Amino acid sequence: MNKVVNGADEAIHDIENGMTLMLGGFGLCGLPENCISALVKKGVKELTCISNNAGVDDFGIGLMLKNHQVKKMISSYVGENAEFERQLLSGELEVELLPQGTLATRCMAAGYGMPAIFTPAGIGTEVAEGKEVRNFNGKDYLMEMAFDADFALVKAWKGDTMGNLIFKSTARNFNPVMAMAGKITIAEVEELVEPGQLDPDHIHTPGIYVHRIFQGSNYEKRIEQRTVRKIENDVR
């Protein structure tokens, strides 16, 4: 059950033009940075990317957008990205906006082997257009389908060679649900360890969901909104 590959280039070698990818992360937090760099290098195009956000101009999925590799984004929020806006307005890029919980739960459904979910999010709005509505106990719910992604690219804090993953803090976000949802899931980790070094009770994503894992490197972990408190009179 050794899932280890040599690095990002090997991990993504069979991602081809026109495929659908899930990319973990929230804003710039918990992004599969190494896989994104490798995709940019490989230059694979016409991709559909399912990811909560679209990065910024020079980081995250923004790098793939700049390289004209993305055909369609499926996201909940795509602000803070000028190139994204330019491509969208020029018609180069398609975007499907979904409520954030719907996005997460459509990933979850795929990982749990369920074809669809019912959520009240979007009822009475344009998100509901063309979708089936069902009433349960007097309340309307939208039927939303499980995602079908060729690859899921996720970033974890620690992982073992069998693919078991542990995430850190709010860098967890979409990563575990996407890890469960890819036909092939690639995990890059800050620290790759041997089986037995992770406490089984602390594992967030069991290795059965992970097909390839590698030790990542050179994490930039850029901060989008650096907000701090002043230290007053040296008292904390």
Distances (CA, A) of 186 to 39, 170, 210: 13, 20, 6
| Contact status: 226 vs another protein (CB under 8 A) | yes
| Contact status: 32 vs another protein (CB under 8 A) | no
| Contact status: 100 vs another protein (CB under 8 A) | yes
Which of 2, 14, 16, 79 is close enough to bind another protein by CB under 8 A? 79
Binding mask 158-177 for another protein (x = CB under 8 A): ---------xxxxxxxxxxx
Q: Please tell me whether residue 34 adopts helix, strand or coil conformation.
A: helix
| Contact status: 67 vs another protein (CB under 8 A) | no
Q: What is the DSSP string of 102-171?
A: HHHHHHHHHHTT-SEEEE-TTTTSGGGTTS-EEEETTEEEEEEEPP-EEEEEEEEEEEETT--EE--GGG
Find all residues with CB under 8 Å of 139, minimum gap 6, and list them. Answer: 120
CA distance 60 to 77: 14
CA distance 135 to 157: 41
| Contact status: 222 vs another protein (CB under 8 A) | yes
Which of 57, 204, 206, 215 is close enough to bind another protein by CB under 8 A? 204
- Give min distance, CB of 222 to another protein, in A: 7
| Contact status: 85 vs another protein (CB under 8 A) | yes
- Give min distance, CB of 182 to another protein, in A: 15
| Contact status: 147 vs another protein (CB under 8 A) | no
End-to-end CA distance of the chain: 48
Distances (CA, A) of 112 to 189, 203, 205, 236: 23, 17, 13, 45
**Segment near another protein (CB under 8 A); pick from 10-18, 22-30, 64-72, 210-218:** 22-30
Considering the complex, state which of residue 137 and residue 194 has its C-beta at the smaller distance from another protein: 137
| Contact status: 132 vs another protein (CB under 8 A) | no
CA distance 160 to 158: 7
For binding to another protein (CB under 8 A), which residues are involved?
A: 26-30, 52, 75-79, 85, 88-89, 97, 99-105, 107-108, 119-127, 157, 167-177, 204, 221-231, 236
